[in-house]
Amino acid sequence: MKITGAAKIIGIFGDPVGHTLSPAIHNAAFERLGLPYVYVPFHVKPAELKKAIEAIRALDMPGINITIPHKERALKFLDEADEDARRIGAVNTIVNMEGRLIGYNTDGTGYLRSLREETGFKAAGKNIIIIGAGGAARSIFYAILTHKPERVVLANRTVKRARALADEFGRRFNVKIEASGAGKDALEAYSKDSHLVVNTTSLGMMGEGRLDFPLESLPENAVVSDIVYRPLKTEFIKGAEKRALKVHTGLGMLIHQGAIGFELWTGRKAPVEVMRKAALKALKGKEAV
Give the binding site for ligand ATR (CB under 6 A): 132-137, 156-158, 161, 182, 200-203, 209
Q: Which residue in the shown chain puts its C-beta closest to ligand ATR?
A: 134
- Tell me how far, at minimum, the Cβ of 90 lies from ligand ATR, in Å: 9
For ligand ATR, give the closer residue by CB, 179 or 278.
Answer: 179
118: closest CA among 223, 232, 258?
223
Least CB distance to ligand ATR at residue 107 (A) = 10
Residue 238 annotated as catalytic: no
Helix axes of 272-288 and 22-33: crossing angle, nearest 10 degrees: 140
Q: Which is nearer to ligand ATR, 96 or 234 (CB)?
A: 234
CB of 32 to ligand ATR, least distance (A): 30
Nearest to 88 by CA among 264, 279, 250, 257: 257
Q: Is residue 225 a contact partner of residue 198, using CB atoms and an 8 Å limit?
A: yes
Q: What is the nearest approach in angstroms of ligand ATR to the Cβ of residue 135?
A: 3
Closest C-alpha among 40, 53, 43, 54 to residue 11: 40
Distance, in Å, from the CA atom of 279 to the CA atom of 267, rounded to the nearest integer, reads 22
27 vs 200, beta carbon nearer ligand ATR? 200
From the list 2, 8, 50, 71, the catalytic residue is: 71
Q: Which whole-number Å values give the CA distances from 277 to 22, 27, 162, 283, in the listed order? A: 12, 12, 35, 10
- C-alpha 37/C-alpha 27 separation (Å) is 8
Closest approach, Cβ 207 to ligand ATR, in A, equals 11
The least CB distance from residue 133 to ligand ATR, in Å, is 5
Q: Is 176 helix (H, G, I), strand (E, B) or coil?
A: strand
Measured from the CB atom, is 29 or 133 closer to ligand ATR? 133
Asked if 245 and 222 count as a contact pair (C-beta separation under 8 A), the reply is yes
Q: Is 57 or 161 the residue whose CB approaches ligand ATR more closely? A: 161
Question: CA 272 → CA 62, 123, 209, 261, distances in Å?
Answer: 20, 22, 31, 12
Nearer to ligand ATR, 202 or 217 (CB): 202
Check: CB of residue 161 under 8 Å from CB of residue 145.
no
Are the beta carbons of 135 and 160 closer than 8 angstroms?
no
Q: Is 288 exposed, middle or buried (0-12, 13-18, 19+ CB in 10 A)?
A: exposed
Residues labelled catalytic: 71
